[in-house]
A and B are shown apart, each in its own frame.
Chain A
Amino acid sequence: MLRERANIISVTNAQARLAARRLAVPFLIVLSLLLIVLGKADAVLFERIRVEAADRIAPVLAVLSQPAAAVSAGARHIRGLLDLYDENQRLREDNDRLLEWQEVGRRLAAENAALRALTGFQAKGATFSIAAQVIANSGGAFARNVLVDVGARDGVARGQAGVTGEGLVGRVTEVGERTARLLLLTDLNSRIPVVLESSRLRAVMAGDNSDQPRLLYLPADASITPGERIVTGGADGVFPPDLPVGVVASIDGDVVRVEPYAEPARLDYVRILDLGLSAFLPQSAVPPPRTTKGTKAADAH
Protein backbone atom coordinates (compact mmCIF):
# COMPACT_ATOMS: atom_id res chain seq x y z
CA MET A 1 0.00 0.00 0.00
CA LEU A 2 2.72 2.37 1.09
CA ARG A 3 4.91 1.32 -1.77
CA GLU A 4 2.06 1.90 -4.21
CA ARG A 5 1.54 5.36 -2.87
CA ALA A 6 5.26 6.01 -3.13
CA ASN A 7 5.12 4.88 -6.72
CA ILE A 8 2.21 7.17 -7.48
CA ILE A 9 4.03 10.07 -5.86
CA SER A 10 7.20 9.39 -7.80
CA VAL A 11 5.20 9.18 -11.04
CA THR A 12 3.47 12.49 -10.38
CA ASN A 13 6.84 13.92 -9.40
CA ALA A 14 8.33 12.80 -12.67
CA GLN A 15 5.37 14.23 -14.55
CA ALA A 16 5.72 17.52 -12.71
CA ARG A 17 9.42 17.61 -13.50
CA LEU A 18 8.70 16.90 -17.16
CA ALA A 19 6.09 19.64 -17.26
CA ALA A 20 8.48 22.05 -15.56
CA ARG A 21 11.16 21.23 -18.10
CA ARG A 22 8.76 21.73 -20.97
CA LEU A 23 7.53 25.02 -19.56
CA ALA A 24 10.97 26.35 -18.66
CA VAL A 25 11.74 27.85 -22.06
CA PRO A 26 8.38 29.62 -22.60
CA PHE A 27 8.50 30.86 -19.01
CA LEU A 28 12.02 32.25 -19.37
CA ILE A 29 11.23 33.82 -22.74
CA VAL A 30 8.23 35.59 -21.21
CA LEU A 31 10.44 36.65 -18.30
CA SER A 32 13.00 38.12 -20.75
CA LEU A 33 10.28 40.03 -22.57
CA LEU A 34 8.94 41.27 -19.26
CA LEU A 35 12.40 42.50 -18.28
CA ILE A 36 12.77 44.32 -21.60
CA VAL A 37 9.39 46.03 -21.22
CA LEU A 38 10.08 46.89 -17.57
CA GLY A 39 13.46 48.29 -18.57
CA LYS A 40 11.75 50.64 -20.98
CA ALA A 41 9.12 51.64 -18.42
CA ASP A 42 11.38 52.11 -15.40
CA ALA A 43 14.70 53.22 -16.83
CA VAL A 44 15.81 54.62 -13.48
CA LEU A 45 15.61 51.32 -11.62
CA PHE A 46 17.41 49.48 -14.40
CA GLU A 47 20.14 52.10 -14.54
CA ARG A 48 20.75 51.54 -10.86
CA ILE A 49 20.94 47.78 -11.45
CA ARG A 50 23.46 48.28 -14.28
CA VAL A 51 25.60 50.66 -12.22
CA GLU A 52 25.57 48.32 -9.24
CA ALA A 53 26.53 45.35 -11.43
CA ALA A 54 29.33 47.33 -13.10
CA ASP A 55 30.75 48.32 -9.71
CA ARG A 56 30.72 44.71 -8.54
CA ILE A 57 32.34 43.28 -11.63
CA ALA A 58 34.87 46.10 -12.10
CA PRO A 59 37.79 44.34 -10.32
CA VAL A 60 37.44 41.32 -12.63
CA LEU A 61 37.24 43.53 -15.71
CA ALA A 62 40.27 45.53 -14.58
CA VAL A 63 42.30 42.31 -14.31
CA LEU A 64 41.06 41.04 -17.68
CA SER A 65 41.85 44.32 -19.43
CA GLN A 66 45.55 44.04 -18.49
CA PRO A 67 46.48 41.18 -20.84
CA ALA A 68 44.10 42.70 -23.38
CA ALA A 69 46.05 45.95 -23.20
CA ALA A 70 49.26 43.98 -23.70
CA VAL A 71 47.81 42.30 -26.80
CA SER A 72 46.72 45.66 -28.17
CA ALA A 73 50.12 47.16 -27.47
CA GLY A 74 51.78 44.21 -29.21
CA ALA A 75 49.59 44.56 -32.29
CA ARG A 76 50.29 48.29 -32.40
CA HIS A 77 54.02 47.67 -32.00
CA ILE A 78 54.11 45.28 -34.96
CA ARG A 79 52.12 47.68 -37.10
CA GLY A 80 54.48 50.47 -36.00
CA LEU A 81 57.50 48.46 -37.13
CA LEU A 82 55.92 47.84 -40.52
CA ASP A 83 55.14 51.51 -41.02
CA LEU A 84 58.45 52.78 -39.69
CA TYR A 85 59.68 54.38 -42.88
CA ASP A 86 56.39 56.09 -43.80
CA GLU A 87 55.91 57.15 -40.22
CA ASN A 88 59.33 58.76 -40.14
CA GLN A 89 58.67 60.61 -43.36
CA ARG A 90 55.35 61.86 -42.03
CA LEU A 91 56.85 62.94 -38.73
CA ARG A 92 59.51 64.99 -40.51
CA GLU A 93 56.84 66.82 -42.47
CA ASP A 94 54.75 67.25 -39.33
CA ASN A 95 57.76 68.62 -37.52
CA ASP A 96 58.42 71.25 -40.18
CA ARG A 97 54.80 72.31 -40.10
CA LEU A 98 54.65 72.36 -36.33
CA LEU A 99 57.74 74.54 -36.09
CA GLU A 100 55.92 77.12 -38.16
CA TRP A 101 52.88 76.76 -35.92
CA GLN A 102 55.05 77.17 -32.86
CA GLU A 103 56.12 80.54 -34.19
CA VAL A 104 52.49 81.51 -34.79
CA GLY A 105 51.50 80.18 -31.37
CA ARG A 106 54.15 82.21 -29.56
CA ARG A 107 53.12 85.35 -31.33
CA LEU A 108 49.43 84.73 -30.53
CA ALA A 109 50.14 83.90 -26.90
CA ALA A 110 52.03 87.15 -26.49
CA GLU A 111 49.29 89.09 -28.23
CA ASN A 112 46.64 87.32 -26.13
CA ALA A 113 48.44 88.12 -22.90
CA ALA A 114 48.76 91.74 -23.92
CA LEU A 115 45.06 92.00 -24.83
CA ARG A 116 43.99 90.25 -21.63
CA ALA A 117 46.05 92.67 -19.58
CA LEU A 118 44.42 95.49 -21.51
CA THR A 119 40.82 94.33 -20.89
CA GLY A 120 41.20 92.88 -17.41
CA PHE A 121 39.94 89.49 -18.66
CA GLN A 122 39.31 86.75 -16.09
CA ALA A 123 39.54 83.12 -17.13
CA LYS A 124 36.42 80.97 -16.60
CA GLY A 125 36.30 78.41 -13.79
CA ALA A 126 39.16 76.01 -14.06
CA THR A 127 38.45 72.64 -15.58
CA PHE A 128 39.98 69.59 -14.04
CA SER A 129 40.48 66.29 -15.71
CA ILE A 130 40.58 62.75 -14.41
CA ALA A 131 42.61 60.08 -16.17
CA ALA A 132 40.72 56.84 -16.52
CA GLN A 133 41.47 53.41 -17.88
CA VAL A 134 38.94 51.70 -20.10
CA ILE A 135 38.09 48.34 -18.50
CA ALA A 136 35.23 47.28 -20.75
CA ASN A 137 34.27 48.21 -24.26
CA SER A 138 30.88 47.34 -25.72
CA GLY A 139 31.05 47.28 -29.48
CA GLY A 140 27.91 45.31 -30.07
CA ALA A 141 25.36 46.16 -32.69
CA PHE A 142 23.16 48.03 -30.25
CA ALA A 143 25.52 49.59 -27.73
CA ARG A 144 28.61 51.71 -28.10
CA ASN A 145 29.93 52.56 -24.69
CA VAL A 146 32.95 52.06 -22.48
CA LEU A 147 33.28 51.39 -18.79
CA VAL A 148 36.11 53.24 -17.06
CA ASP A 149 37.76 52.57 -13.72
CA VAL A 150 36.89 55.88 -12.05
CA GLY A 151 33.60 56.78 -10.46
CA ALA A 152 31.83 59.09 -8.04
CA ARG A 153 34.58 58.69 -5.45
CA ASP A 154 37.05 60.18 -7.94
CA GLY A 155 34.82 63.15 -8.72
CA VAL A 156 33.21 61.83 -11.90
CA ALA A 157 29.68 63.05 -12.50
CA ARG A 158 27.04 62.55 -15.13
CA GLY A 159 27.38 64.74 -18.21
CA GLN A 160 31.13 65.19 -18.12
CA ALA A 161 33.01 64.93 -21.39
CA GLY A 162 35.43 62.10 -22.15
CA VAL A 163 38.34 63.06 -24.39
CA THR A 164 41.57 61.62 -25.73
CA GLY A 165 44.48 63.46 -27.26
CA GLU A 166 42.66 63.32 -30.59
CA GLY A 167 39.33 64.71 -29.49
CA LEU A 168 35.97 64.07 -27.89
CA VAL A 169 34.93 60.44 -27.45
CA GLY A 170 31.69 60.68 -25.52
CA ARG A 171 30.01 61.72 -22.33
CA VAL A 172 29.45 60.17 -18.92
CA THR A 173 25.96 58.72 -18.65
CA GLU A 174 26.13 56.40 -15.64
CA VAL A 175 28.21 56.83 -12.53
CA GLY A 176 28.86 54.21 -9.92
CA GLU A 177 31.03 54.42 -6.85
CA ARG A 178 34.15 53.17 -8.62
CA THR A 179 33.11 52.92 -12.26
CA ALA A 180 31.50 55.16 -14.84
CA ARG A 181 30.01 54.47 -18.23
CA LEU A 182 30.78 56.74 -21.17
CA LEU A 183 28.28 56.81 -24.00
CA LEU A 184 30.38 57.04 -27.16
CA LEU A 185 29.64 59.51 -29.95
CA THR A 186 28.73 56.60 -32.20
CA ASP A 187 26.02 55.17 -29.92
CA LEU A 188 22.44 55.24 -31.08
CA ASN A 189 21.43 57.37 -28.11
CA SER A 190 24.23 59.90 -28.37
CA ARG A 191 23.23 63.47 -29.26
CA ILE A 192 25.95 66.14 -29.14
CA PRO A 193 25.50 69.81 -30.07
CA VAL A 194 28.32 70.69 -32.45
CA VAL A 195 29.53 73.57 -34.59
CA LEU A 196 31.06 73.41 -38.05
CA GLU A 197 34.30 75.20 -37.44
CA SER A 198 34.69 77.39 -40.50
CA SER A 199 31.03 78.22 -41.23
CA ARG A 200 30.00 78.34 -37.51
CA LEU A 201 26.82 76.47 -38.44
CA ARG A 202 25.19 74.70 -35.51
CA ALA A 203 24.04 71.10 -35.72
CA VAL A 204 23.37 68.07 -33.58
CA MET A 205 25.60 65.09 -34.07
CA ALA A 206 23.62 61.89 -33.62
CA GLY A 207 25.09 58.41 -33.40
CA ASP A 208 23.48 55.45 -35.10
CA ASN A 209 25.81 52.65 -33.96
CA SER A 210 27.82 52.94 -37.17
CA ASP A 211 31.36 54.31 -37.08
CA GLN A 212 30.29 57.64 -38.53
CA PRO A 213 27.62 59.67 -36.70
CA ARG A 214 25.21 61.88 -38.64
CA LEU A 215 24.67 65.64 -38.48
CA LEU A 216 21.05 66.60 -37.83
CA TYR A 217 19.15 69.90 -37.97
CA LEU A 218 21.43 71.60 -40.46
CA PRO A 219 19.93 74.54 -42.36
CA ALA A 220 18.56 73.38 -45.71
CA ASP A 221 20.77 75.73 -47.71
CA ALA A 222 23.93 74.96 -45.74
CA SER A 223 27.02 74.55 -47.87
CA ILE A 224 29.22 71.92 -46.36
CA THR A 225 32.36 70.44 -47.78
CA PRO A 226 33.91 67.11 -46.86
CA GLY A 227 36.91 67.57 -44.61
CA GLU A 228 35.43 70.48 -42.67
CA ARG A 229 36.27 70.33 -38.98
CA ILE A 230 33.54 69.73 -36.40
CA VAL A 231 33.96 71.00 -32.84
CA THR A 232 31.74 71.01 -29.77
CA GLY A 233 29.25 73.86 -29.58
CA GLY A 234 29.58 74.68 -25.92
CA ALA A 235 26.35 76.68 -25.93
CA ASP A 236 24.57 73.80 -24.23
CA GLY A 237 26.74 74.27 -21.18
CA VAL A 238 27.59 70.59 -20.99
CA PHE A 239 30.81 70.41 -22.94
CA PRO A 240 33.65 72.86 -23.13
CA PRO A 241 33.36 74.76 -26.44
CA ASP A 242 35.65 74.04 -29.38
CA LEU A 243 36.76 70.56 -28.40
CA PRO A 244 37.74 68.79 -31.61
CA VAL A 245 35.15 66.17 -32.58
CA GLY A 246 35.87 65.07 -36.14
CA VAL A 247 35.68 65.98 -39.80
CA VAL A 248 32.84 65.82 -42.32
CA ALA A 249 33.40 62.48 -44.02
CA SER A 250 30.66 62.29 -46.61
CA ILE A 251 27.63 64.17 -47.87
CA ASP A 252 24.96 62.06 -49.48
CA GLY A 253 21.84 64.12 -50.11
CA ASP A 254 20.53 65.04 -46.67
CA VAL A 255 22.81 62.65 -44.88
CA VAL A 256 26.00 64.27 -43.62
CA ARG A 257 28.34 61.91 -41.83
CA VAL A 258 31.20 62.75 -39.50
CA GLU A 259 34.39 60.80 -39.02
CA PRO A 260 35.31 61.25 -35.35
CA TYR A 261 38.96 62.01 -34.58
CA ALA A 262 39.07 59.58 -31.70
CA GLU A 263 38.61 55.98 -32.69
CA PRO A 264 36.42 54.45 -30.01
CA ALA A 265 37.45 50.89 -30.75
CA ARG A 266 41.06 51.65 -29.87
CA LEU A 267 40.45 53.39 -26.57
CA ASP A 268 42.79 52.48 -23.74
CA TYR A 269 42.69 55.61 -21.66
CA VAL A 270 40.41 58.61 -21.60
CA ARG A 271 40.47 61.89 -19.75
CA ILE A 272 37.23 63.00 -18.17
CA LEU A 273 36.81 66.77 -18.16
CA ASP A 274 34.80 68.60 -15.59
CA LEU A 275 33.64 72.14 -16.22
CA GLY A 276 31.70 72.33 -13.01
CA LEU A 277 28.57 72.47 -15.14
CA SER A 278 27.15 69.05 -14.44
CA ALA A 279 24.88 70.58 -11.79
CA PHE A 280 22.70 71.90 -14.62
CA LEU A 281 21.98 68.43 -15.91
CA PRO A 282 19.02 66.31 -14.86
CA GLN A 283 19.82 64.47 -11.67
CA SER A 284 21.22 61.01 -12.06
CA ALA A 285 19.25 58.04 -10.89
CA VAL A 286 22.25 57.07 -8.86
CA PRO A 287 22.47 58.72 -5.46
CA PRO A 288 25.49 60.98 -4.93
CA PRO A 289 28.50 59.41 -3.22
CA ARG A 290 27.88 58.93 0.45
CA THR A 291 30.90 60.80 1.73
CA THR A 292 29.56 60.87 5.29
CA LYS A 293 29.74 57.10 5.46
CA GLY A 294 33.35 57.19 4.34
CA THR A 295 34.37 59.77 6.91
CA LYS A 296 32.58 57.89 9.65
CA ALA A 297 34.51 54.79 8.78
CA ALA A 298 37.69 56.81 8.75
CA ASP A 299 36.86 58.25 12.19
CA ALA A 300 36.31 54.82 13.59
CA HIS A 301 39.80 53.72 12.67
Chain B
Amino acid sequence: MRLTLFPRDIDGLYRLAPFATGALAALLSVTPIAVPGLAIATPAFALMVVYHWTIYRPDLLPPSGVFAIGLFVDLLDGTPYLGLSSLVLLVARSLVLRQRPLVANRDFAVVWAGFLVVAAIVTALEWAVTSILNEAPLGSRPFLFQAIVTAACFPVASYLLAWTQRALLRRV
Protein backbone atom coordinates (compact mmCIF):
# COMPACT_ATOMS: atom_id res chain seq x y z
CA MET B 1 0.00 0.00 0.00
CA ARG B 2 2.99 2.19 0.51
CA LEU B 3 3.65 2.23 -3.22
CA THR B 4 0.34 3.92 -4.00
CA LEU B 5 1.30 6.76 -1.72
CA PHE B 6 4.59 7.27 -3.46
CA PRO B 7 3.48 9.08 -6.65
CA ARG B 8 1.38 11.43 -4.60
CA ASP B 9 4.41 12.37 -2.50
CA ILE B 10 6.33 13.09 -5.65
CA ASP B 11 3.46 15.22 -6.88
CA GLY B 12 3.65 17.13 -3.62
CA LEU B 13 7.31 17.81 -4.29
CA TYR B 14 6.52 18.89 -7.83
CA ARG B 15 4.13 21.46 -6.46
CA LEU B 16 7.18 23.22 -5.05
CA ALA B 17 8.62 23.65 -8.56
CA PRO B 18 7.34 27.24 -9.02
CA PHE B 19 8.89 28.34 -5.76
CA ALA B 20 12.10 26.48 -6.59
CA THR B 21 12.37 28.24 -9.95
CA GLY B 22 11.92 31.53 -8.10
CA ALA B 23 14.78 30.73 -5.72
CA LEU B 24 16.91 29.64 -8.68
CA ALA B 25 16.12 32.90 -10.48
CA ALA B 26 17.30 34.83 -7.42
CA LEU B 27 20.57 32.88 -7.38
CA LEU B 28 21.01 33.32 -11.12
CA SER B 29 20.63 37.08 -10.84
CA VAL B 30 23.78 37.35 -8.71
CA THR B 31 25.85 34.66 -10.45
CA PRO B 32 28.86 36.40 -11.96
CA ILE B 33 28.48 35.66 -15.66
CA ALA B 34 30.58 37.94 -17.82
CA VAL B 35 28.65 37.53 -21.03
CA PRO B 36 29.09 40.60 -23.21
CA GLY B 37 25.83 42.51 -23.44
CA LEU B 38 24.47 41.18 -20.18
CA ALA B 39 26.92 43.38 -18.35
CA ILE B 40 24.88 46.61 -18.48
CA ALA B 41 22.23 45.41 -16.09
CA THR B 42 21.13 42.10 -14.68
CA PRO B 43 17.67 41.13 -15.87
CA ALA B 44 15.03 40.76 -13.16
CA PHE B 45 14.77 36.97 -13.43
CA ALA B 46 12.51 36.65 -10.39
CA LEU B 47 9.95 38.94 -12.02
CA MET B 48 9.79 36.63 -15.04
CA VAL B 49 9.21 33.64 -12.77
CA VAL B 50 6.44 35.36 -10.82
CA TYR B 51 4.81 36.52 -14.07
CA HIS B 52 4.87 33.07 -15.63
CA TRP B 53 3.45 31.14 -12.69
CA THR B 54 0.85 33.77 -11.88
CA ILE B 55 -0.53 33.40 -15.39
CA TYR B 56 -0.36 29.62 -15.69
CA ARG B 57 -0.45 28.23 -12.15
CA PRO B 58 -1.27 30.96 -9.62
CA ASP B 59 -2.36 28.26 -7.18
CA LEU B 60 1.22 26.99 -6.93
CA LEU B 61 2.85 30.34 -6.21
CA PRO B 62 0.81 31.96 -3.41
CA PRO B 63 1.56 35.47 -2.08
CA SER B 64 3.67 34.02 0.73
CA GLY B 65 5.89 32.29 -1.85
CA VAL B 66 6.26 35.51 -3.81
CA PHE B 67 7.14 37.36 -0.61
CA ALA B 68 9.80 34.77 0.29
CA ILE B 69 11.35 34.91 -3.20
CA GLY B 70 11.54 38.70 -2.90
CA LEU B 71 13.31 38.50 0.45
CA PHE B 72 15.77 36.00 -0.99
CA VAL B 73 16.49 38.30 -3.94
CA ASP B 74 17.18 41.23 -1.61
CA LEU B 75 19.38 39.24 0.74
CA LEU B 76 21.49 37.98 -2.16
CA ASP B 77 21.66 41.36 -3.81
CA GLY B 78 22.91 42.98 -0.63
CA THR B 79 20.67 45.99 -1.19
CA PRO B 80 20.13 48.30 1.74
CA TYR B 81 16.38 47.95 1.15
CA LEU B 82 15.38 44.52 2.38
CA GLY B 83 11.73 44.02 1.44
CA LEU B 84 11.71 46.13 -1.70
CA SER B 85 11.76 43.15 -4.05
CA SER B 86 8.99 41.47 -2.03
CA LEU B 87 6.88 44.58 -2.39
CA VAL B 88 7.55 44.87 -6.09
CA LEU B 89 6.90 41.18 -6.82
CA LEU B 90 3.66 41.19 -4.81
CA VAL B 91 2.45 44.21 -6.75
CA ALA B 92 3.43 42.45 -9.98
CA ARG B 93 1.44 39.38 -8.91
CA SER B 94 -1.66 41.45 -8.20
CA LEU B 95 -1.33 43.21 -11.55
CA VAL B 96 -0.91 39.96 -13.44
CA LEU B 97 -3.89 38.30 -11.69
CA ARG B 98 -6.02 41.18 -12.89
CA GLN B 99 -4.90 40.97 -16.53
CA ARG B 100 -4.74 37.19 -16.55
CA PRO B 101 -7.92 36.67 -18.63
CA LEU B 102 -6.41 38.92 -21.29
CA VAL B 103 -3.20 36.94 -21.76
CA ALA B 104 -3.90 33.33 -20.73
CA ASN B 105 -4.19 30.92 -23.69
CA ARG B 106 -3.18 33.60 -26.16
CA ASP B 107 -0.25 33.95 -28.56
CA PHE B 108 3.16 34.33 -27.06
CA ALA B 109 3.32 37.86 -28.43
CA VAL B 110 0.40 38.82 -26.19
CA VAL B 111 2.01 37.19 -23.17
CA TRP B 112 5.23 39.06 -23.92
CA ALA B 113 3.39 42.36 -24.36
CA GLY B 114 1.69 41.79 -21.00
CA PHE B 115 5.10 41.21 -19.47
CA LEU B 116 6.40 44.47 -20.97
CA VAL B 117 3.58 46.38 -19.29
CA VAL B 118 4.13 44.70 -15.92
CA ALA B 119 7.93 45.15 -16.12
CA ALA B 120 7.51 48.84 -16.96
CA ILE B 121 5.09 49.50 -14.09
CA VAL B 122 7.14 47.52 -11.61
CA THR B 123 10.42 49.19 -12.61
CA ALA B 124 8.79 52.61 -12.25
CA LEU B 125 7.58 51.62 -8.78
CA GLU B 126 11.07 50.40 -7.86
CA TRP B 127 12.56 53.66 -9.06
CA ALA B 128 10.03 55.69 -7.09
CA VAL B 129 10.55 53.79 -3.83
CA THR B 130 14.34 53.87 -4.13
CA SER B 131 14.23 57.59 -4.88
CA ILE B 132 12.08 58.24 -1.82
CA LEU B 133 14.43 56.18 0.36
CA ASN B 134 17.42 58.11 -1.00
CA GLU B 135 15.59 61.40 -0.51
CA ALA B 136 16.53 62.42 -4.06
CA PRO B 137 15.35 61.34 -7.50
CA LEU B 138 17.76 58.75 -8.90
CA GLY B 139 19.06 58.65 -12.45
CA SER B 140 16.50 56.76 -14.46
CA ARG B 141 18.96 55.28 -16.97
CA PRO B 142 20.00 52.18 -14.96
CA PHE B 143 16.33 51.40 -14.34
CA LEU B 144 15.50 51.87 -18.01
CA PHE B 145 18.38 49.59 -18.97
CA GLN B 146 17.22 46.95 -16.53
CA ALA B 147 13.67 47.08 -17.84
CA ILE B 148 14.87 46.71 -21.44
CA VAL B 149 17.26 43.84 -20.67
CA THR B 150 14.55 42.12 -18.62
CA ALA B 151 11.98 42.42 -21.40
CA ALA B 152 14.51 41.16 -23.96
CA CYS B 153 15.41 38.10 -21.88
CA PHE B 154 11.81 37.14 -21.19
CA PRO B 155 11.26 34.79 -24.18
CA VAL B 156 14.15 32.54 -23.11
CA ALA B 157 12.98 32.44 -19.50
CA SER B 158 9.42 31.83 -20.62
CA TYR B 159 10.51 28.89 -22.77
CA LEU B 160 12.46 27.32 -19.91
CA LEU B 161 9.61 27.82 -17.45
CA ALA B 162 7.06 26.35 -19.86
CA TRP B 163 9.36 23.39 -20.32
CA THR B 164 9.60 22.95 -16.53
CA GLN B 165 5.84 23.18 -16.28
CA ARG B 166 5.28 20.51 -18.93
CA ALA B 167 7.91 18.22 -17.47
CA LEU B 168 6.89 18.41 -13.82
CA LEU B 169 3.39 19.73 -13.47
CA ARG B 170 1.32 18.00 -16.10
CA ARG B 171 -0.46 15.90 -13.49
CA VAL B 172 -0.38 18.26 -10.56
Contact = CB atoms under 8 A, between A and B. Distances in A.
Interface string B114-126: 0000000001001
A33 B87 contact: yes
A268 B32 contact: yes
Given A49-B82, A71-B35, A143-B79, A138 B42 contact: yes
A71 B36 CA distance: 11
B80 A189 contact: yes
Contact of B63 (A25, A34, A136, A145): A25
12 contacts: A25-B63, A46-B80, A60-B27, A61-B27, A75-B34, A75-B36, A136-B31, A137-B32, A139-B40, A142-B126, A142-B138, A210-B141
A115 interface: no
Contacts, number: 162
Contacts of B41: 139-141
B147 to A, nearest CB: 8
Given A138-B42, A174-B78, A266 B146 contact: no
A164 interface: no
Chain B contact surface mostly: helix
A131 B28 CA distance: 24
A28 B91 CA distance: 10
A24 B62 contact: yes
Nearest to B134: A188
B126 A35 contact: no
A69 interface: yes
Nearest to B140: A141
Contacts of A266: 34, 39
B33 A71 contact: yes
A64 B31 contact: yes
Q: Which of A64, A174, A263 has the most CB of B within 10 A?
A: A64
Nearest to B73: A140
A39 B142 contact: no
A209 B64 contact: no
Contacts of A57: 75-76
A208 B139 contact: yes
Contacts of A64: 27, 31
Contacts of A28: 63-64, 66-67, 86, 90
Nearest to B32: A137
Contacts of B33: 68, 71-72
Given A32-B70, A40-B133, A64-B27, 13 more contacts: A25-B93, A29-B90, A36-B84, A36-B129, A50-B82, A64-B31, A72-B35, A143-B77, A174-B78, A210-B139, A210-B142, A265-B40, A266-B39
B127 interface: yes
Contacts of B99: none
Interface in A61-112: 61, 64-65, 68-69, 71-72, 75-76, 79
Contact of A145 (B70, B78, B143): B78
A28 B85 CA distance: 12
B63 A139 contact: no
Contacts of B39: 139, 263, 265-266
A32 B90 contact: yes
Q: Which of B34, B126, B129 has the most CB of A within 10 A?
A: B34
Contacts of B126: 141-142
A39 B91 contact: no
Nearest to A72: B34
Interface string B18-50: 000000000101111111100111101000000
A135 B94 CA distance: 33
B56 interface: no
A150 interface: no
Given A143-B79, A209-B138, A135 B63 contact: no
A24 B65 CA distance: 11
